[in-house]
Amino acid sequence: MRDRIKTMKKNNHINIILLLFVLLNLTSQYTYAQSIDIEVTIPKLNVGTYHRPYVAIWLETDRRKGVHTLAVWHEKDDWLKDMRQWWRKLGRKDFTENDATSSATRKPDTYQINWNGLDKKGKKIPPGEYYLSFEAAREAGGRDYIRQKITLGNNTPQHYSLKGDIELGNINIRIN
């Protein structure tokens, strides 16, 4: 009985901590409103053996520190390492299959990704200059790795157009 009371007390503590967390988040210091829309094309390739590419999209600081993963399209975790830059910057520390950003590989087409500027914990990313990075690796195929400098938090609309060499086609980034 006494044990049970103890557990209840403990639970109460956890609840209070959780409540504090929620309050802290609501009063987060970064309240800029910005939406980041990304359009990524996986090109159709005329090759004999085609496996859908693994793709990672993530944010880094200008000092090359991994900040946040926006998307990881993959099948087997054995091959996550083949997205080498993403793997060293964020994947190996920060990625689990349960992440909202994790999904299956995709066939050649154009895909939209919308990101609200929140990190994994639901916190706004501090304003500043960042690199949005794209990496694609295809089994028995090639690899692509592209980065674009962007600014978050200054509420200036931005538009960038990039193009991959092999495994990624056109990429459009719109920040509003």
Q: Of 123, 166, 172, 174, which one interacts with other proteins (CB under 8 A)?
A: 166
H or E element at residue 54: strand 54-61
C-alpha R_g of the chain? 20
DSSP symbol at 124? B
Token pair belonging to 11: 């639970």
| Cα–Cα distance, 128 to 151 (Å, whole number) | 6
Q: Could you say whether residue 145 binds other proteins (CB under 8 A)?
A: yes
Q: At closest approach, how far in Å is the CB of 161 from other proteins?
A: 21
Q: How far is the CB of 57 from other proteins (least distance, A)?
A: 18
Given the complex with other proteins, which of 129 and 165 has the nearer CB atom?
165
CB 52, min distance to other proteins, A? 13
Handedness of CA 112, 117, 121, 126 (dihedral sign): positive
If the CB atoms of residues 48 and 157 are measured against other proteins, the closer one turns out to be 48
Residues 97-116 interacting with other proteins (rule: CB under 8 A): none
Q: In the complex with other proteins, which residue's Cβ is closer, 124 or 138?
A: 138
Residue pair 135/167 in contact (Cβ under 8 Å)? The answer is no
Per-residue tokens: 142: 């090639």
Q: Tell me which stretch binds other proteins (CB under 8 A): 3-11, 99-107, 137-145, 150-158.
A: 137-145
Residue 137: enclosing H or E segment and its boundaries? Answer: strand 128-137
Residue of 75, 99, 109, 165 interacting with other proteins (CB under 8 A)? 165
Q: Does 48 participate in binding other proteins (rule CB under 8 A)?
A: yes
How many residues belong to the site for other proteins (CB under 8 A)? 11
Count of CB atoms within 10 A of residue 148's CB? 16
CB of 88 to other proteins, least distance (A): 15
Contact status: 127 vs other proteins (CB under 8 A): no
Q: Give the C-alpha separation, 41 to 163, whole Å.
A: 9
Give the residues lining the site for other proteins (CB under 8 A).
48-49, 139-145, 165-166
